[in-house]
Structure 1
């Protein structure tokens, strides 16, 4: 039901209710103030009346010489009527009542709780609860004219008006105030609601909520990553694809966050704050290559933010083989299968020759060779994935006729802080495979591998005695897409190596002589340094 009511009328009613409530509170406070003022004025009036009665010669004379002739009683009644008080009571020092509107109390002893100080020559005001309500009472001592001693007390009282009586007395003022407050409250609320509705493009809140949900679902359904920031650098839009590509999927509170506090790559932050529009540019973020465009968001000709749209333009099918080493492992399995088939054929031939000693000797020999290499790598390299990769590369080299030599000082106990296993597989796999390619036309093929680390640095070295590189090739070897191999599915491996080294703030040292061989040494600090150290080639 409430949802069908326009937001304009909701705001009007709410604003009017607030104004009316405030007006009523103001009236209540005003009535309280008015009552306090009224009490003060009444108290002064009662004190004046009481002093007048206390100074009447007839009353003083009666108290000094009691005659009970009733002369002063009529005078007191006249003053009561003229001053508009409810009662005037005169008491002697024995607290005997001499005058009172209630005839039955005359001659009795007064025993009210608030009259005590008056018999000690004190003048004061008091409030007391009576049969007619709360009354304001003024007490004034009556002093003798002859010797200035106290001879009695005058009590003048008037019942205070109730709150309702005060409201009725001031009803005109109250009604005018409420009517004016209501009129201007309704008028102001209506114009406020109309302006707010206009600023919301005449949309209702549920329509805005639905639009926001649809927009969120739309940007999250896009295959491209989207990040938008306002002029103060706060994120206003970020979709799921952006979180995935930028590896911040575990953050759910990014909307409204300063982009510099999110851990997003600084280069992306620079792009978003760059004043010029940029289209179709490439950027390496970690191990991912993205193609991005950045444009300023303008509203009424004024820049209110910027938006960056990007996507992973890397050919997943091609790069997955080089990034994850899938193709290398597939090749290793094929090599291993081929190698074992050859060994089985050899064993089968020796069995047919009925040379059991040769069979056992051969099996023992190949078993020892494999176990020795496996034991060495397992004891020196504490990552089974890297051990498996090196075993596969040794077997592949055996098939290709390459003597793969692993340095006896090779050791790996932990990776540098900026590298993961995936990066190291990419580095080792690409460098060894490039070495194998360089040895294709060499008669005595040799490839030397070394992997060492200490507290300061991690060093990887691959050396071959292959064909080497010309100066032109050395200058372009790390350029994405450059290759000396036939076919289109090449030219990515060494550029990936370079990007990983750059990310790790390490450096690559390349030595190559055409016709004599190549040595590539990669050094990466174990801890991230403050600036990149990529050296020239």
Structure 2
């Protein structure tokens, strides 16, 4: 049953235990310090009282008189009462008691063993255990006017019990305990709630089950799937991949170089570039392979390759299309979560638990901020979903897709619907992605702005990709013209232009070779506005 306890309760119980144990340890240390301070304070107070008695003229004058204790003892008793001392003993140079709390001992000789240094003109404090408890005894020499020692004053204060000492600050201790435990409980609850939110309210056993299901999913796929980490070790090597590559042994966790003998396929997995449906000959088989580098915050952490025997692809064309879509959906939706789980697991294995939590908080905060912004400012789930998917796709491609924080979209123009906007935004961002294939930059950026008000809809997509030459800009909006060669059909920007013109809008393309491209659309919200502008 312990495994099924919700993680938030485990965290709260553990955190509460840590705080409670810390309070106990701190209380023990503080109690020792307080007890030592009380002992030191009593010793200092005794020395002060002793010096007061030693400097009294009546004490100095009567100390050597026969039966001088009859004068000294009443005076000393008053001083003892005023200074709240437990007892004061005055001895002359012959160690005869001239003051003592027990009157029967007046005039008798003291046989104390720790008084010797006091008769050598030393002031000091000692601790002695007696019948009524531990006494803190302060010794002060008595000097006459000629600076000759004529006796000793011993001031004793009984050390209170530890419970008595702590009772003097019980209110402070109670307040500290309540605050510490309160903050511990609240902090634990907030941390547990945050972790639950970050893990999509999944328990650890549910996350483990998802990993098992993910592995089963890869095993059930009709493609070979190989995933490696940055060190070249295999993370995923499903059964289909082993059958295609004629591998019989378990390959998971081994260096990929020791498993795959084909140098061409090995270089594809290790090198930092993408492949999309590339044909490759491995042995006697022709493979159709797609490979995507796995990146976390712009840093490569591994790669995943999906491939199929070309003969099977040709035999099952329709089925392949469905599988490719499934693979693409898995790659877009699951690989980012998988990468995060691997990163978290790696940090935990390295005993970097705080960094793992920081990473969870950071990644989740980024996703949460973007999702919250889109839900509040983009009043169409299709458009907000498209933008969110393009941001995630940009992460896979190493492109930072940002949205203007002033963006707001409340309704469609009269002559345009959300499907048109999905077509426009999707094509513009995909074209921007493609612009980075022909240029190498340290930072790849795409900036999207979507603003609507009562009069106009403003949309712009800017990138710092390869840009276009002037002669290309003149043809880029023509039907059939494409800068992508065989990969393009020349319809994307043409359809966008037609859609904008149908809505009585304006489209502006500004591009500089090597610096990037900016495409702006201004579309009137109402037919009345467009007719007024034409006039």
TM-score by length of 2: 0.50
Q: Which aligned pairs between 1:372-391 and structure 2 lie closer than 5 A?
A: none
1:189 aligns with 2:161: no
**Deviation sequence 1:202-247 (CA, Å, 0-9, x none):** 1111122222233334545667542224678665433466578486
C-alpha contact 1:277 1:296 (8 A) present in aligned 2: no
Q: Which aligned pairs between 1:201-350 and structure 2 lie closer than 5 A?
A: 201-220=200-219, 224-229=223-228, 235-239=234-238, 245=245, 249=249, 253-254=253-254, 267-272=264-269, 273-279=271-277, 281-284=279-282, 290-295=287-292, 306-310=303-307
Indicate how the Cα distance of structure 1 residues 74 and 301 shifts in structure 2: closer, same or farther if over 3 A, else same: closer
Alpha-carbon distance in structure 2 between the residues aligned to 1:155 and 1:246: 97
C-alpha contact 1:240 1:249 (8 A) present in aligned 2: no
Indicate how the Cα distance of structure 1 residues 284 and 166 shifts in structure 2: closer, same or farther if over 3 A, else same: same
- CA RMSD across the alignment: 3.7
Alpha-carbon distance in structure 2 between the residues aligned to 1:142 and 1:125: 16
Structure 1 residue 106: deviation in Å? 3.7
**Deviation sequence 1:149-192 (CA, Å, 0-9, x none):** 22221111112222211221001111111111222222111111
Match of 2:53 in 1: 53
Q: Which aligned pairs between 1:441-520 and structure 2 lie closer than 5 A?
A: none
Match of 2:11 in 1: 11
Alpha-carbon distance in structure 1 between the residues aligned to 2:297 and 2:246: 32
Alpha-carbon distance in structure 1 between the residues aligned to 2:248 and 2:26: 55
Match of 1:44 in 2: 44
Structure 1 residue 4: deviation in Å? 3.7
Structure 1 residue 312: deviation in Å? 6.3
Match of 2:29 in 1: 29
Indicate how the Cα distance of structure 1 residues 288 and 118 shifts in structure 2: closer, same or farther if over 3 A, else same: farther
**Deviation sequence 1:401-438 (CA, Å, 0-9, x none):** xxxxxxxxxxxxxxxxxxxxxxxxxxxxxxxxxxxxxx
C-alpha contact 1:228 1:236 (8 A) present in aligned 2: yes
Match of 2:127 in 1: 127
**Deviation sequence 1:281-321 (CA, Å, 0-9, x none):** 22426x87655332456899999754212456799xxxxxx
Which stretch of the first structure deviates more once superposed, 54-63 or 294-303? 294-303
C-alpha contact 2:265 2:282 (8 A) present in aligned 1: no
Q: Which aligned pairs between 1:381-420 and structure 2 lie closer than 5 A?
A: none
Indicate how the Cα distance of structure 1 residues 188 and 225 shifts in structure 2: closer, same or farther if over 3 A, else same: same
Match of 1:101 in 2: 101
1:164 aligns with 2:168: no
Alpha-carbon distance in structure 1 between the residues aligned to 2:117 and 2:248: 82
Structure 1 residue 48: deviation in Å? 0.7
Match of 1:82 in 2: 82
1:136 aligns with 2:136: yes
Structure 1 residue 86: deviation in Å? 0.8
Match of 1:492 in 2: none
Structure 1 residue 2: deviation in Å? 2.7
SS in 2 for 1:145: coil
**Deviation sequence 1:435-486 (CA, Å, 0-9, x none):** xxxxxxxxxxxxxxxxxxxxxxxxxxxxxxxxxxxxxxxxxxxxxxxxxxxx
Indicate how the Cα distance of structure 1 residues 222 and 96 shifts in structure 2: closer, same or farther if over 3 A, else same: farther
C-alpha contact 2:294 2:303 (8 A) present in aligned 1: yes
SS in 2 for 1:84: coil
C-alpha contact 1:246 1:264 (8 A) present in aligned 2: no
Alpha-carbon distance in structure 1 between the residues aligned to 2:132 and 2:262: 83
Larger-gyration structure (1/2): 1
Alpha-carbon distance in structure 2 between the residues aligned to 1:301 and 1:35: 58
Match of 1:117 in 2: 117
Structure 1 residue 102: deviation in Å? 3.0
Q: Which runs of 5+ in 1 are unaligned?
A: 316-537
Alpha-carbon distance in structure 2 between the residues aligned to 1:134 and 1:96: 24
SS in 2 for 1:98: strand
Alpha-carbon distance in structure 2 between the residues aligned to 1:109 and 1:247: 102
C-alpha contact 1:15 1:185 (8 A) present in aligned 2: yes
Indicate how the Cα distance of structure 1 residues 45 and 265 shifts in structure 2: closer, same or farther if over 3 A, else same: farther
SS in 2 for 1:23: helix
SS in 2 for 1:181: helix
Indicate how the Cα distance of structure 1 residues 189 and 266 shifts in structure 2: closer, same or farther if over 3 A, else same: farther
C-alpha contact 1:281 1:293 (8 A) present in aligned 2: no
Alignment coverage as a number of residue pairs = 310
Structure 1 residue 251: deviation in Å? 6.3
